[in-house]
Structure 1
Amino acid sequence: MASRAIVPQHENNGEVKQLYARADGRNRRVLQDIGNFVDERAAAKGKKPIPEGVVAVAQAVKGAQRKVVDKPKPEDVIVISSGERTEKSKHVSKRQGSSRKQVKTLTQILSARSKAVCGLINRLNVSIEDIDGEDAGNELAVTEYVDDIYEFYKLTEDEGLVRDYMDLQPDINAKMRSILVDWLIEVHRKFELTPETLYLTMNIVDRFLSMKFVQRKELQLVGISAMLIACKYEEIWAPEVNDFVFISDNAYAREQVLVMEKAILDKLEWYLTVPTPYMFLVRFIKASIPSDDKTEDLAFYLAELGLMQYPTAVKYCPSMLAAAAVYAARCTLGKSPLWSETMKHHTGYSENQLMNCAKHLVKFHSTAAESKLKASYSKFSSLDRNVVALLAPAKSLLPVAIHHGE
């Protein structure tokens, strides 16, 4: 940015305007000409004449600088030593160029990195299929924002994640929790509720149990109160309080359900908008190409089995549980490939990252028929669920002992 000429304060206004006009004109000096050199015209107007020797030296210096500008020559780099304060000259050849040419600006660096990233993305996009292309005209699919929505889910799922809390509950254990989940699955099916309601119910139950000591006799009360809250949040026509009292065989009064509902909401600070495995299951199943109804039902079945088991529910985040359920379903049905670049792109997980969780789900699948808790097994053994519960589990993901029937 050009600087204005510095004008002494004692000069008259006419001279000041004239100097400013010359400084702001088109014939500005280049940066290297700016110095303490005196212009002949400025000297002529001054009261004190400049000695001819000083003017001659100034003109000679300016002429030498113009020659450097007109025709670049090898320049000398002055190296100043901080300790000895000596100057050393080092000749720079034309092949090496100036030291300033070897330094890249921040803009150049960022531009180069941006081009490299764009090239990498373009190469990856070759193998990533567009799973939202068919829904481009569907306003409910919100294809313009769906990627941003799921990116937000991934960033916020830790806020609703439940940590290991069973050691802090002296009167209940993991087995009691599994019994409660099995019963809630039956209630959910009896009322014909949406899948979102079941997953939100379990999130509310686990988060409340991680914050509040609950007696064994009140565990079922926590379950029906949590489902009542989830129904009000997800359902269009939510069941009434008396319906939950009736289905629990009048074990609790209506007032007890309302008191527990208020206690849960106060403890959770009314924070109910959390990403659950269901939200990720819908997206990941869509990315499972080729996909069909059997793959979808089997993925939901495996996810419910994982939801019922306490270690799996608290160890794995919702997105990983959903991705592992889809991966285990593809392994069970023998889909090829088992895990594609499209799946990796939309889930954010590689095949190796999902292996441990998928093995747990397949293990639950292999033992579900002999388990006393058969709510999910009966639910997904029906024809409307493509009897996926009766499918043989994926042998490649089974432990060796179970695989050989030991």
Structure 2
Amino acid sequence: MTSNEPVLPIQQPNRDVKQNNDGHIERRNRRALVDIGNLAPTAVEIGKPTQISRPVTRNFRAKFLENAQGEADKNVKIQKPQADPNNEEVSLKAHEETPRRRSRKPSKSLTTVLTARSKAACGITTKPKDPVVNIDESDINNELAEVEYVEDIYTFYKLSETEGGLQDYMNSQPDLNAKMRAILVDWLIEVHRKFELMPESLYLTINIVDRCLSVKKVPRKELQLVGISAMLIASKYEEIWPPEVSDLIAISDNAYSRDQILAMEKVILGQLEWYLTVPTPYVFLVRYTKASLPFDKEMENMVFFLTELGLVHYSVIITNSPSKLAAAAVYAARCTLGKTPAWTETLKHHTGYYEHELRDCAKTLVTFHDCASETKLKAVYRKYVNPEKGAVALFPPARNLVAEARGSEQL
């Protein structure tokens, strides 16, 4: 122990009792405690013993010495020697005697350090710049929007499309091929436009046609009859004022009679077991287009244009679920219109698809867009070249996706 350390005497019993000259015992008045933990510190002079009123332990003694030394450093004014620039020894001594105040940095826990290293290794160093946007916030007071249930509804749609997905049925049709189906769908799109039906009716019509062909062998001469009957069923399901049978007979150039159409309607409903509430690409397009921010009419028209181009082609319908086709159409439309980023966190959240999962389908849709004006089946092109649809068919396709598609074909 050095000489300048304070002396800590051991507490003596009955120190508060004192006997005066007359022999009477008197007690000292104790000072009231200001703080139950520690009293207000007083100036400590180095070299003088400090009285304490509690048993001394090793830990207490060490803490007491540390506190006493700290108080002494605060109250004792250290005389700094004048630093002589010509005397290096005096300057060095002055530098050594100057107390250094250490800045304590907050210590990090091991969990924090490991988490930071893991994020850095995975490339997650900052929060995402593109947070998920609540697309239903503006519809909270709209009862028809069903904001409280919309997420559950689309979860059910995704589950339903997985359970009732279409299988490759063209090999089981001895008298049909994919080209004949494309001609039929192109014609149905034209009929749908002339009758000015709701878009839901078109998507349900094509769904009914594909589901019917997947369970029933249809001769070539009855393929158009299946299409007309499917549109009649879809119109009854979706429209307030569906077209009459006589209108369908006229639009098909009297190729079929009223009895034939009604008979085929019964056959289709029997084959499908009257199951018409199905998730078509349309129900996903409505949701995904809403999640494509900023939302505008041009974006909506481009999405539906690309989707209907895909509906015409059998390979696109069979290899992609309705939700994936809708998501790929939104991605291709954003690339075509130059939206950045092409795929956002909001879209990923609501669609459940990552960008790389949609790229192949999007490249196929953009390829159809690139040659839409040159193909023989022009119903979709004529529909969306109209100024009422924003003439989006005239927009140049996404060149980066077209170039990738052509590069893949060359390989």
Q: Considering the TM-score relative to the shorter chain, is it more than 0.5?
A: yes
1:246 and 1:220 map into 2 onto residues whose CA distance is 13
Pair 1:307 & 2:311 matched: yes
- Cα offset for 1:399? 3.9
1:266 and 1:388 map into 2 onto residues whose CA distance is 40
> Which position in structure 2 is the counterpart of 1:263?
267
The alpha-carbon distance between structure 1 residues 131 and 401, as it changes in their structure 2 partners (threshold 3 A), is closer
Decide whether the 8 Å contact of 2:332 with 2:398 is kept in 1. Answer: yes
- Cα offset for 1:243? 1.0
> Which position in structure 1 is the counterpart of 2:220?
216
The structure having more radius of gyration, on CA atoms, is 2
Q: RMSD of the alignment, in Å?
A: 1.9
1:350 and 1:397 map into 2 onto residues whose CA distance is 16
Question: How do 1:5-404 and structure 2 match up within 5 A?
Answer: 127-399=131-403, 402=406
- Cα offset for 1:126? 7.9
**SS of match in other structure, 1:210:** helix
1:301 and 1:375 map into 2 onto residues whose CA distance is 11
- Cα offset for 1:240? 1.1
The alpha-carbon distance between structure 1 residues 141 and 401, as it changes in their structure 2 partners (threshold 3 A), is closer
**SS of match in other structure, 1:398:** helix
Q: Unaligned stretches of 5+ in structure 2? A: 1-126
Decide whether the 8 Å contact of 1:197 with 1:230 is kept in 2. Answer: yes
1:401 and 1:220 map into 2 onto residues whose CA distance is 33
2:406 and 2:378 map into 1 onto residues whose CA distance is 20
State the Cα deviation string for residues 223-248 of structure 1 (Å, max 9, x = none).
00000000010001111111111110
State the Cα deviation string for residues 76-118 of structure 1 (Å, max 9, x = none).
xxxxxxxxxxxxxxxxxxxxxxxxxxxxxxxxxxxxxxxxxxx
1:242 and 1:212 map into 2 onto residues whose CA distance is 26
Decide whether the 8 Å contact of 1:160 with 1:275 is kept in 2. Answer: no
1:375 and 1:391 map into 2 onto residues whose CA distance is 17
The count of corresponding residues between Structure 1 and Structure 2 is: 284
Amino acid at match of 1:293: K
- Cα offset for 1:195? 0.4
Q: Structure 1 stretches (4+) deviating beyond 6 angstroms?
A: 123-126
1:154 and 1:172 map into 2 onto residues whose CA distance is 30
Q: Unaligned stretches of 5+ in structure 1? A: 1-122
Decide whether the 8 Å contact of 2:363 with 2:405 is kept in 1. Answer: no
TM-score in terms of structure 1 length:
0.68
Identity, % of aligned positions:
63
**SS of match in other structure, 2:215:** coil
2:349 and 2:406 map into 1 onto residues whose CA distance is 33
Normalized per residue, the structure richer in helix is 1
State the Cα deviation string for residues 192-213 of structure 1 (Å, max 9, x = none).
0000000000000001001111
1:320 and 1:400 map into 2 onto residues whose CA distance is 20
Decide whether the 8 Å contact of 1:205 with 1:226 is kept in 2. Answer: yes
TM-score in terms of structure 2 length:
0.67
